[in-house]
Structure 1
Amino acid sequence: MFIPPKDIGWVEVICGPMFSGKTEELIRRIRRASFAKQRVQVFKPKIDDRYDANAIVSHNQERVEGIPVSDLKEMRQKLDPHVEVVGIDEIQFFDQGVVDFCDELANKGCRVIVAGLDLDYLGEPFGPLPRLICQAEYVSKLLAICVRCGNPAHHSYRLSTDPQQVLVGSTDQYEAICRRCFKVGQD
């Protein structure tokens, strides 16, 4: 059950594997805040230009305008001092300082909604998400459907052999798979 706090800020984390609907859920929450006439600002990492350089776009083409930033410093510079709701997509691409940034905003009374991968392609905790999950008031862990067997999927399996942790892609680079299929793929 979601009971919004009164007269204070808070942090909401939407996490899970690729293709689980994280960005779609972020967009839904942002739209509801906009409908409520709250001052909203949405950020995205510049590195994620898969569907649009300036909008946050889900795999099913739901979209909301966003502000692309290279790093946390640029996000701070572009932050509206009167904002009430801040959304950040693909938060795993930001450094650990984003956790303190989210706390600062919440402590000033902002509602902060972030979305991102909690695990990287190796199944390891990804970037600032573990700390954010621990510090957030609300956490929504979404699951995808395993493309191999149909079970609930919580892994983003990389199809290429590129070893770098950050590799922006979609169905060309990744597929959602379950625990069993991920283990089989690792053996």
Structure 2
Amino acid sequence: MLYNEEVFKRKSEIGGSIEVICGSMFSGKTEELIRRINRARIAKLHVEIFSPVADTRYDKSALVSHNLNSIPSKAVDNAASILPLADDIQVVGIDEAQFFDDELPAVCTALANNGVRVIVAGLDMDFKGRPFGSMPQIMSIAESVTKLHAVCVKCGSAAMYSYRLVPDESKILLGEKESYEPRCRNCFKS
């Protein structure tokens, strides 16, 4: 798609912004990102979704939620790769933001400053309950932050932690229900 006056006009009309969707695994972050992108498509905005090449759990050409809802996306090697691919885009979705390099906050800022609505989804904490990747920086520069909660598998309370079930201390371990479960604060500690 070529950059044109109509796209520039729509970018100016909607203005740039950064929105963050965060929470634990199984909280519905990707599902919410897909919902917001679909609403932008209904509004006839030019959209594109990006995800890190490192996330190989589902599909390289589609963003897939745990509920198996999907939407086309582009896998990129690093955050800077997003900029040239978003030249004529009005709404950019970025999934699994915690896996991107430290340049992601600057990329999000550059896009927003250029009139793009940027919607970022990712884990806000790692399996040890510590801030994950560049998510804290992105949350601090965002116009809005939506924190989603899963359901604690131990007690049914709101879960904000991703508890790792397997004995692996690597910061990044791609996995699903065989490797992680959502837990509330009390069940995460115990």
**TM-score, structure 1 length as denominator?**
0.92
One-letter amino acid of the structure 2 residue matched with residue 89 of structure 1: D
What percent identity do the matched residue pairs reach?
51
Instruction: Give, in whole Å, the separation in 2 of the partners of 1:169 and 1:71.
Output: 21
Instruction: Give, in whole Å, the separation in 2 of the partners of 1:17 and 1:43.
Output: 20
Instruction: Give, in whole Å, the separation in 2 of the partners of 1:7 and 1:168.
Output: 36
Partner secondary structure for residue 42 of structure 1: strand
Query: 1:34 matched to which residue of 2?
Result: 41
Q: 137, 140, 145: which is aligned to 2:151? A: 145
Partner secondary structure for residue 109 of structure 2: helix
- How far off is 1:122 after superposition? 0.3
Instruction: Give, in whole Å, the separation in 2 of the partners of 1:35 and 1:134.
Output: 29
Query: 1:69 matched to which residue of 2?
Result: 76
CA-based RMSD = 1.3
Query: 1:169 matched to which residue of 2?
Result: 175
For structure 1, the residue ranges without an aligned partner over 5 or more in a row are none
Partner secondary structure for residue 112 of structure 1: strand
Instruction: Give, in whole Å, the separation in 2 of the partners of 1:100 and 1:53.
Output: 24
Deviant stretches of 4+, over 3 Å: none
- How far off is 1:6 after superposition? 5.4
**TM-score, structure 2 length as denominator?**
0.91
- How far off is 1:76 after superposition? 3.0
CA deviation string 1:87-146 (max 9, x = no partner): 000000011210010000000000000000000000000001111111100100000000
Question: What is the 5 A alignment of 1:1-187?
Answer: 7-77=14-84, 79-184=85-190
- Report the count of equivalent residues: 179
CA deviation string 1:126-181 (max 9, x = no partner): 00111111110010000000001101100000111111101111101100000001
For structure 2, the residue ranges without an aligned partner over 5 or more in a row are 1-11
